């Protein structure tokens, strides 16, 4: 009984989340009546599940993800995977992931405190995983696509200054997404923007993947060493395909789940979103493992 009461008291993020959704939909006649605090307090089991699921996923990301990503950052800075120019997008992606891991400590504290500042800081960090991760992954995919399908264009824009400019624009977009999460998390504008940007990521990465696959089947006139060229193209295709699946499964399910917020009860929606978001958080281990294998730090995994 004490544990159930504690779970209800420590669910500040869930309570605020429900209140924000209720306020944002007060003029929407198609939305079910909002759940009051009294109704929410009767859902002790659901609130407890929400708190436990988020605590577990954030803790795993902090304990295992943070050291791994810091190690990857060190490998990139020391040139283990290549030159700084060739790994610049991976560097920025790693920095974004490290920032998100650090903010996870704030998110865990938000589950067990009543601080409005902590709550807003936790919401702010969600933009890093909703926009930062897929945007930098799209940059990596486009880079691989250009290297395989348009090598002349790739060589033209290979200098570091172009990557710096591209990443500067991406970081501004990430900052805008973080601000949107800060003020409009899971409100109608956020839900629709999340769905639209997720579909853009999927379409862009699908185009890159199919274009590289087409280049594998129809080699260009400059491909002298057919076997060696196909090996490079196949490696690029596998990387893009992994990143595509890596974006589609976690991010698309969050976007689709967000669209159902007016179709199912709020408490069930919050629990479903918590599960989807936790899958999105845990999926952050895919890119580090992919990079570690690429630089030869995971010899027991064969494939790429």
The percentage of residues in the chain with a pLDDT greater than 90, rounded to a whole number, is: 16
Per the model's pLDDT, the better-predicted residue between 22 and 165 turns out to be: 165
Whole-number pLDDT of residue 203? 87
Q: Give dist(CA 138, CA 268) in Å, integer.
A: 32
pLDDT at 98: 93
When mean pLDDT is compared across 88-92, 100-104, 191-195, the lowest value belongs to: 191-195
- The overall average pLDDT reported for the chain is 75
pLDDT at residue 34 above 60? no
Residue 155 has pLDDT above 80, yes or no: yes
- 159 has pLDDT over 50: yes
Closest CA to 17 of 45, 54, 62, 61: 54
Q: What is the pLDDT of residues 120-154, one digit of tens each?
A: 888 898 888 888 988 998 998 899 889 888 889 99
Q: What is the pLDDT of residue 102?
A: 92
For the chain, the structural domain boundaries read: 53-294
Q: What percent of the chain has pLDDT over 70?
A: 77
| Rounded mean pLDDT, 67-88 | 85
Distance between CA atoms of 144 and 233, rounded to whole angstroms?
A: 9
Is residue 257 within 8 Å of residue 270, measured between CB atoms? no
- Exposure letters 70-100 (e unless 16+ CB within 10 A, then b): eebbebbeeebbeeeebbbbbbbbbbbbbbb
Give yes or no for residue 263 having a pLDDT over 50.
yes
242-261 mean pLDDT: 76
Q: Which residue has the higher pLDDT, 264 or 227?
A: 264
Residue 282's Cβ-side half-sphere holds a number of Cα atoms within 13 Å equal to 14
Residue 114, number of CB atoms within 10 A of its CB: 12
Query: What is the arithmetic mean of pLDDT over 166-195?
Result: 86
Q: Is the pLDDT at 78 greater than 90, yes or no? A: no
Name the residue with tokens 């998110």.
107
Q: How many CA atoms lie within 13 A of 54 on its CB side?
A: 27
**The pair of three-digit structure tokens given for residue 2, joined into one six-digit string:** 């004490």
Quick one: average pLDDT of 196-210? 85
**Mean of pLDDT values over 159-183:** 91
- For the segment 209-236, what is each residue's pLDDT rounded down to a tens digit? 888 878 877 765 555 555 556 677 777 7
With left for phi above 0 and alpha for psi between -120 and 50, is residue 194 left, alpha or beta? alpha
Gap between the Cα atoms of 126 and 181, Å rounded: 6
pLDDT digits (tens, 9 = 90+) for 19-33: 344 334 334 444 444
- Write the CATH number of the domain with boundaries 53-294: 1.20.1070.10
Residue 196 in this model has a pLDDT that exceeds 70: yes
pLDDT for 255 equals: 73
């Amino acid at each position: 009984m004490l544990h159930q009461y504690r779970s209800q008291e420590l669910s500040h993020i869930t309570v605020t989340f429900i209140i924000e959704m209720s306020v944002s939909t007060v003029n929407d006649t198609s939305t079910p009546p909002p759940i009051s605090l009294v109704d929410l307090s009767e859902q002790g089991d659901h609130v407890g599940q929400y708190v436990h699921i988020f605590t577990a996923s954030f803790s795993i990301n902090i304990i295992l993800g943070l050291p791994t990503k810091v190690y990857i950052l060190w490998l990139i800075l020391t040139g283990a995977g290549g030159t700084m120019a060739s790994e610049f997008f991976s560097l920025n992606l790693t920095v974004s992931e490290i920032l998100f891991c650090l903010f996870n400590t704030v998110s865990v504290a938000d589950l067990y405190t009543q601080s409005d500042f902590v709550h807003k800081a936790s919401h702010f960090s969600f933009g890093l995983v909703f926009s930062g991760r897929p945007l930098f992954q799209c940059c990596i995919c486009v880079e691989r696509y250009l290297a395989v399908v348009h090598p002349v264009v790739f060589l033209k824009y290979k200098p570091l200054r172009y990557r710096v400019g591209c990443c500067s624009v991406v970081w501004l977009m990430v900052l805008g997404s973080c601000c949107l999460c800060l003020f409009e998390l899971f409100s109608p504008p956020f839900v629709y923007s999340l769905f639209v940007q997720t579909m853009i990521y999927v379409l862009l990465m699908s185009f890159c993947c199919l274009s590289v696959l087409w280049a594998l089947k129809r080699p260009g006139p400059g491909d002298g060493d057919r076997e060696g060229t196909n090996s490079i193209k196949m490696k690029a295709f596998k990387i893009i395909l992994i990143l595509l699946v890596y974006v589609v499964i976690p991010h698309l399910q969050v976007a689709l789940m967000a669209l159902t917020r007016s179709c199912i009860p709020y408490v069930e929606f919050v629990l479903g979103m918590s599960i989807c978001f936790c899958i999105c958080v845990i999926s952050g281990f895919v890119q580090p493992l992919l990079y570690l294998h690429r630089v030869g730090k995971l010899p027991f995994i064969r494939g790429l």
